[in-house]
Amino acid sequence: MADLTKTSPAGSKRTRPLLRLAQDFVRPYAATVVVIILLMTAEAALTGGLAYLLGPVIDEVFIKRDQTMAYVLPAVLFGVMALKAAISYVSGVSLAQVGQGAVSDLQVAMFAKVTRYDLARLNAMHSGQFAARFLNDAMLIRESVTRTTTGLVRDTLTVVALIVVMFIQDWPLALVLCSVLPLTALYTLSLGRKTNKASARGMESTGDLATHLSETLDGRRVVKAYRMEDHAIARASAIVTERMKHWMKAATARAAATPSAEVLAGAGIAAVILYAALREMPIANFTSFLASMMLSYQSIRSLSNFYTAVSEGSAAAERAYALLDAPTDVGDTTSDALRVSAAPSISFKDASFEYGAAIPALDHVSFEVPAGKTVALVGPSGSGKSTALNLILRFYDVAQGAIEIDGQDIRRVTIGSLRDAMALVTQEPFLFDETIADNIGCGRPGASRAEIEDAARAAAAHEFILALPQGYETKVGEAGVRLSGGQRQRIAIARAVLKNAPILLLDEATSSLDTESERAVQTALTRLMKDRTTLVIAHRLSTISDADKIVVLEHGRVVEQGSHGELIARGGLYARLHRTQFAESGRAAPAAVAE
């Protein structure tokens, strides 16, 4: 398969996406395509044979009254038609297999590409837009693949075979009729351009509709709390109206192609009848000629929609390749795997990063996470805490400086080996709409049920799981909506326990929980953190007072480092944040522990 990461060079914008599609996704089915071409060629030849045989039928059966031919020729006609029908069935099924197979491969490639996007590119693209391309555009591409093959092979060869029959029967009349075909082709091209433009805009509106639907469902609590239902409905109505306008333009242009073919056929039939009457054309020749015209009508009508289908498919393929050709900003630059000890060290060395804004998210940050120790990152919102975790996981790459694990620059090892060495527990744990066992098991694919249950016990989740109606086979719903926040968090911790990675990353893992849930989750986290190198982002400072070291960030810079007692005694930013939190909770701040 061709390298899908390369951008298509400039060229024919209208056909190049489909040519790339044929090379990348249809070529694996080349043997089947060859068989289809041979079958369609035979089908076209048999169609021409049918038209030609009508001449001898009229001549031998109705003019000469040959009794033998009265039995033979109908049997031959039936045999030809039966064979043609069988070939049509086989070629149709085979073509559907190629079209669906190519589109299925394309969908898998698109999904794989988007799944491997770096976080910046994923954040820049709405999931609804991807869903529209994945489903709606794929349908248009499938139709284009089947119509392209049918139009270029069966319909074209059928028209050619029937034109040959017409030339055999009366070449001057056939020559006159053929001169009209270029005019029809030009008219069809103009309709195709209109269809292509309208279809492209219709696809954009489809993406907007998918985006709005996704946002409305994801934000359903906000929509209802702020009584935004009418606003959401009005916006959906406006998008649907705009989408319908573009699709109607495409449908109007597409529908105009068939009447033009009918007008052509009607004019041709009238001309043939007039010509035959004036020139006293032999009845056998006239019948065969007229049959050729009538049989070619269906193929010409199908060809009249050929360019519009190609235009729609090309626009959809172009959008698909926009996904496939997108460059990867964060990727493997080496095949070397990360080599880590049982409890590796982490070093930020003058690391800087910004999300594209003028103000850096991290500004020359340096600190150490010693092997097997727990280091907490604290600071006001926007100070760069989550950015530090994103950089360790290589969701983004540092702009300056470096991050090292056991002395290895994480940009010089494979992303897979880097992330295998880490387990992440976030503030809002994401659960897949699968069973609890599946959600825990994704921490280490292939883990046994006993290992999954042991991980749940370590995360203080086993008891509440068994209390559910289906236990570990309970489906958690979309994003785990059927479970409480504390239950979701303990399943996420069980997932991290099962992974058993030497580095643990905790991103405000208890900040959204109530006191009782926090106590249970904190107990599970304490067990998980034992003998691991742990980096914690904490909102509740009471949860990290026992950390080996606390790094205080402000405006992307490290302003303080030290233990809880040292930072309290220093009276800097950490001490102020600590006093503020305890004042808000109505409790007195504990005295600093003497070091």
- Residue spans per domain, the chain: 16-324, 433-500
Measure the CA–CA gap between 184 and 192, rounded to whole angstroms.
12
Tell me, letter by letter, the H, E, C secondary structure of 34-63. Answer: HHHHHHHHHHHHHHHHHHHHHHHHHHHHHH
Query: pLDDT (tens digit, 9 = 90+) per residue, 305-349?
Result: 677 677 778 878 888 888 888 887 788 888 899 998 888 999 999
The chain-wide mean pLDDT, for the chain, equals 82
Q: Which residues pair with 426 in a beta bridge?
A: 507
Cα 346 from Cα 349, distance rounded (Å): 10
For residue 369, give the H/E element and its range. Answer: strand 362-369
Hey, how many other C-beta atoms are within 10 angstroms of the C-beta on 298? 15
Is the Cβ–Cβ distance between 505 and 389 less than 8 Å? Answer: yes
Residues 295/162, Cβ–Cβ less than 8 Å? yes
Eight-state DSSP code of residue 8: P
DSSP character at residue 475: B
C-alpha to C-alpha distance for 248 and 256, rounded to whole angstroms: 12
Going by C-beta distance under 8 Å and a sequence separation of 6 or more, which residues neighbour residue 387?
353, 361, 362, 396, 556
- Angstrom distance (rounded) from CA 172 to CA 166: 9
CA dihedral 167→171→177→182, nearest 10 degrees, is: 70
150-159: pLDDT as tens digits:
888 888 899 8
> Which pTM was predicted?
0.74
> Taking the CA of residue 491 as centre, how many other CA atoms within 13 Å lie in the half-sphere pointing to its CB?
32
On the 0-12 / 13-18 / 19+ scale of CB atoms within 10 A, 354 is middle
Which amino acid, residue 567?
L
- Cα torsion 527, 530, 532, 537: sign: positive
The predicted structure's pLDDT at residue 398: 92
pLDDT band at 195 (very low <50, low <70, confident <90, very high): low
pLDDT tops 80 at residue 260: no
- Judged against a pLDDT cut of 50, whether residue 164 lies above it is answered with yes
Identify whether the C-beta of residue 520 lies closer than 8 Å to the C-beta of residue 540: no
28/397 Cα distance (integer angstroms): 37
Tell me the pLDDT tens digit for each residue of 244-254: 887 787 777 66
Angle, vertex CA 134, rays to CA 128 and CA 200, nearest 5:
85
% the chain with pLDDT above 70: 86
Most confident of 424-428, 534-538, 591-595: 534-538
What's the pLDDT tens digit per position in 561-572?
A: 999 999 999 999
Lookup result for tokens 């810079």: 557
Report in angstroms the alpha-carbon separations of 206 from 128, 135, 193, 200, 482. Answer: 9, 10, 20, 10, 31
Residue matched to tokens 């499938």: 142
Beta carbons of 512 and 538 less than 8 angstroms apart: no
Candidate from 89-93, 135-139, 177-181, 197-201 with smallest mean pLDDT: 197-201
Q: Of 32, 291, 251, give the one whose Cα is nearest residue 166.
A: 291
* pLDDT of residue 3 exceeding 50: no
> Residue 351: CB partners within 8 Å, gap ≥ 6?
362, 364, 365, 366, 391, 398, 400, 401, 402, 403
In sequence order, the β-bridge partners of residue 348 are 367, 403
Q: What is the DSSP letter of 116?
A: T
Sheet of 422-426: strands edge to edge?
Answer: 422-426, 503-507, 533-537, 374-378, 549-554, 557-562
Distance separating alpha carbons of residues 526 and 542, to the nearest angstrom: 14
pLDDT digits (tens, 9 = 90+) for 418-463: 999 999 888 878 888 889 999 999 888 889 999 999 999 888 889 8
> For residue 246, which amino acid is it?
H
Average pLDDT over residues 55-76: 88
Cβ(398)–Cβ(392) under 8 Å?
no
* Whether the Cβ atoms of residue 561 and residue 531 lie closer than 8 Å to each other: no
Under the banding of pLDDT at 50, 70 and 90, the label for residue 43 is: very high
Cα-flanking dihedrals φ and ψ of residue 507, to 5°?
-105, 90
User: Contact 145/316 with Cβ under 8 angstroms?
Assistant: no
Give the pLDDT band (50/70/90) at residue 594: very low
- Token couple for 270: 């009238």
Output the pLDDT for position 381: 85
- E-assigned strands of 492-589? 503-507, 533-537, 549-554, 557-562
Token duo for residue 38: 């041979």
pLDDT of residue 339: 92
Residue with tokens 């400072």: 541
| The CATH number, out of the four listed (2.60.210.10, 2.40.128.20, 3.40.50.10700, 1.20.1560.10), of the domain defined by the range 16-324 | 1.20.1560.10
pLDDT higher for 298 or 446?
Answer: 446
Q: What does the pLDDT look like over 69-103, one tens digit per residue?
A: 888 989 999 999 999 999 999 999 999 899 889 98
pLDDT exceeds cutoff 90 at 110? no
The number of angstroms, rounded, from the C-alpha of 85 to the middle of its chain's C-alpha atoms is 38
